[in-house]
């Protein structure tokens, strides 16, 4: 069994709940185990991620706005394989901004259908397995 390390930069608990449920589905369907770290504000990103010389995450789910009024786009993307970063903002412009700084994958967070959003996140993650 392989372990996939996932960093989720997201502050919305409902979105997180659905993402976690999809990760559990993947674990039950495939021979993988997820090691998940979730940070809910940009200050945590600065303290726990950007202060490192190297990070060991296989996938980064990257929202934009956080609950403190800051931006998760402060994350040092040079620490990550940009092919394994998925922008998950509900604002198309913010996903475009992420792509402008090198992010290759986007799943628009649609608050009118968060279940579909979570399913699309699952589909993107399955591409890495």
> What domains sit in the chain, N to C, each tagged with a CATH number?
2-126 (3.40.50.2300)
pTM for the full predicted model: 0.95
Task: With CA atoms as reference, report the closest residue to 67 among 95, 103, 96, 38.
Answer: 38
Considering only CA atoms, give the Rg of the chain.
14
Task: Indicate the burial class of 85 (C-beta count within 10 angstroms; 0-12, 13-18, 19 or more).
Answer: buried
Structure confidence at residue 66 as a pLDDT band (50, 70, 90): confident
| pLDDT of 104 above 90 | yes
Record the tokens describing residue 13, joined without a space: 């608990």
Task: Indicate the burial class of 80 (C-beta count within 10 angstroms; 0-12, 13-18, 19 or more).
Answer: buried
| pLDDT of 67 above 90 | no
């Amino acid at each position: 069994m392989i372990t996939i390390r996932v960093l989720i930069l997201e502050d919305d608990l409902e979105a997180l709940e659905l993402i976690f449920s999809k990760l559990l589905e993947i674990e039950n369907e495939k021979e993988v185990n997820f090691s998940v770290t979730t940070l809910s504000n940009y200050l945590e990103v600065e303290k726990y991620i950007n202060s490192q010389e190297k990070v060991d995450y296989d996938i980064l789910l990257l929202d934009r706005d956080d609950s403190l009024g800051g931006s998760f786009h402060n994350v040092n993307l040079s620490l990550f394989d940009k092919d394994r970063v998925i922008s998950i903002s509900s604002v198309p412009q913010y996903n475009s901004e992420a792509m402008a700084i090198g992010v290759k994958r986007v799943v628009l967070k649609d608050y009118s259908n968060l279940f579909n959003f979570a399913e699309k996140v699952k589909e993107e993650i399955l591409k890495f397995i």
